[in-house]
Chain A
């Protein structure tokens, strides 16, 4: 099965993040999954304040700034993994460093 892992942290934490992420910081979690062919893709995202929402109403394209919904947790990154089932996905997500202070939302792709 293919799963999307949304890496989420508290909105207050995002406010304190530096403008540019440290891309040289080692990430053994991702390296190991890449080497095993489990992680298909993944990256970090800019905070919700830099988001733009798009909706089309009555043929008109409407843009909004900011996130589509104010939530306590915000997505700061994602990983796409391929593994057998939810138990394996949970085991992988539980090893993600952010799982210890933020949370990882696991969402299966349509099969």
Chain B
């Protein structure tokens, strides 16, 4: 590793820990970020000449701490506070088996506090825990840098002014708040994995950050099987990312994906993480979704997929997570195990329900089932509504391709020889 790689590696390892600790001790989010940033800038300036220190993380922490003391001294902060900062990182970090005492967990729960708007939670998590710059977050969230900068400033002001505490919530609040944290991380992952807008289908940086944060959360909360479930789910999806898009950036459906391009090591990792979660016997929605993803990831070929098993898992998922999107996936699984007519009946029930109005996958699923039933005119109409509703270019192109394929045999039939 050259010096820059060591700095980058140290950044990934230490950024969130340093920021989280400085926020706890100083209560000042901007100061914490700026001091951490300065420390890494110092490392980049000095390590090439002085050599990389024996413990790069400890060096950075000390540099950030000293910077914080300097700046607070200039603001005439009382000595007691300075003394508290001076001991940061001094004793070797004591391992905390519960994880609850870890500053990064405090930071994560604060960033994902339900009193913050969802977009503010996402921005704060990416800034303070993942260490992305404002420009990078702006790009990931498809807004201008100025808009993102304003969003971050407002979010930090709201934490300070609204009285949002910097701590892991008490036991009675913990389950609800933990599912809120998991939801933010899953949202981050999905934005990276299946970008909801824009020209790129996959934004891998965002998924990689989400996986890193989920791994951290699972490590810090070893007693929470859903954290492991979420990590497993992300890994099992991410393992397929190279096969989801072809050389021209076109979407490839699960059925048509080249399974040799799936990342075997990530699948194995995901399955192992999932097994350790299931050992705890408290199977929540993320573990169920991971189980479904594992059924797909471990099928040799598309034809080997255990659709009956997947249908049963979706039934269990609907019981704990009664969402119309889950019901749509269940309908698709039923179509695969019991035939397209059975699936179509369920899709039509969802159309009457109305909650998925405007969601392109509903007409897309209907179109696929009608096509398989040979009802081509109705299928074409459904593909057209799906294309109208789809947000990303690759998804639109994929659906348009299906539509063309559907009409091609007809055109051939009627065109002169």
Residues of B within 8 A of A3 (CB): 163
Q: Is B404 an interface residue (CB 8 A)?
A: no
Rank and list the top 4 A-B pairs by shortest CB-CB distance, nearest first. A85-B165, A86-B163, A85-B163, A1-B163
Q: Look across to chain B and name the residue whose beta carbon is closest to the beta carbon of A110.
A: B161
Residues of B within 8 A of A1 (CB): 163
Interface of B is mostly: loop
B165-190 interface code vs A (CB 8 A; 1 in, 0 out): 10001100100000000000000000
The interface of chain A, by Cβ under 8 A from chain B, is 1, 3, 84-87, 89-91, 108
B173 and A86 contacting across the interface, CB-CB below 8 Å: no
A108 and B165 contacting across the interface, CB-CB below 8 Å: no
Q: Look across to chain B and name the residue whose beta carbon is closest to the beta carbon of A87.
A: B165
The interface of chain B, by Cβ under 8 A from chain A, is 113, 115, 161-165, 169-170, 173
Apart from the given pairs A86-B165, A87-B165, 17 other A-B contacts in the complex at a CB distance below 8 Å: A1-B163, A3-B163, A84-B165, A85-B163, A85-B164, A85-B165, A86-B113, A86-B115, A86-B163, A86-B164, A87-B164, A87-B170, A90-B115, A91-B173, A108-B161, A108-B162, A108-B163
Cβ distance A100 to chain B, nearest Cβ, rounded Å? 18
Cβ distance A111 to chain B, nearest Cβ, rounded Å? 9
Residues of B within 8 A of A89 (CB): 163
Residues of A within 8 A of B170 (CB): 87
- 17 A-B pairs whose Cβ atoms sit less than 8 Å apart in the complex: A1-B163, A3-B163, A85-B164, A86-B113, A86-B115, A86-B164, A87-B164, A87-B165, A87-B169, A87-B170, A87-B173, A89-B163, A90-B115, A91-B173, A108-B161, A108-B162, A108-B163
Cβ distance A98 to chain B, nearest Cβ, rounded Å? 19
Cβ distance B157 to chain A, nearest Cβ, rounded Å? 12
A84 to B167, CA, bound (A): 12
A11 to B113, CA, bound (A): 30
A3 to B335, CA, bound (A): 55
Q: Look across to chain B and name the residue whose beta carbon is closest to the beta carbon of A84.
A: B165
Residues of B within 8 A of A108 (CB): 161-163
A63 to B54, CA, bound (A): 73
Cβ distance B243 to chain A, nearest Cβ, rounded Å? 44
Cβ distance A93 to chain B, nearest Cβ, rounded Å? 12
A91 to B164, CA, bound (A): 13
Residues of A within 8 A of B173 (CB): 87, 91
A1 to B162, CA, bound (A): 10
A2 to B342, CA, bound (A): 59
A91 to B162, CA, bound (A): 15
Residue of B113, B115, B169 with most chain A CB atoms under a 10 A cut-off: B115
Cβ distance A107 to chain B, nearest Cβ, rounded Å? 9
Residue of B113, B164, B165 with most chain A CB atoms under a 10 A cut-off: B165
Residues of B within 8 A of A90 (CB): 115
Residues of A within 8 A of B169 (CB): 87
Q: Look across to chain A and name the residue whose beta carbon is closest to the beta carbon of B166.
A: A85
Cβ distance A64 to chain B, nearest Cβ, rounded Å? 30
A90 to B162, CA, bound (A): 11
Cβ distance B278 to chain A, nearest Cβ, rounded Å? 32
Q: Look across to chain B and name the residue whose beta carbon is closest to the beta carbon of A85.
A: B165
Cβ distance B176 to chain A, nearest Cβ, rounded Å? 11
A23 to B371, CA, bound (A): 68
Q: Look across to chain B and name the residue whose beta carbon is closest to the beta carbon of A1.
A: B163
Residues of A within 8 A of B162 (CB): 86, 108
Cβ distance A4 to chain B, nearest Cβ, rounded Å? 12
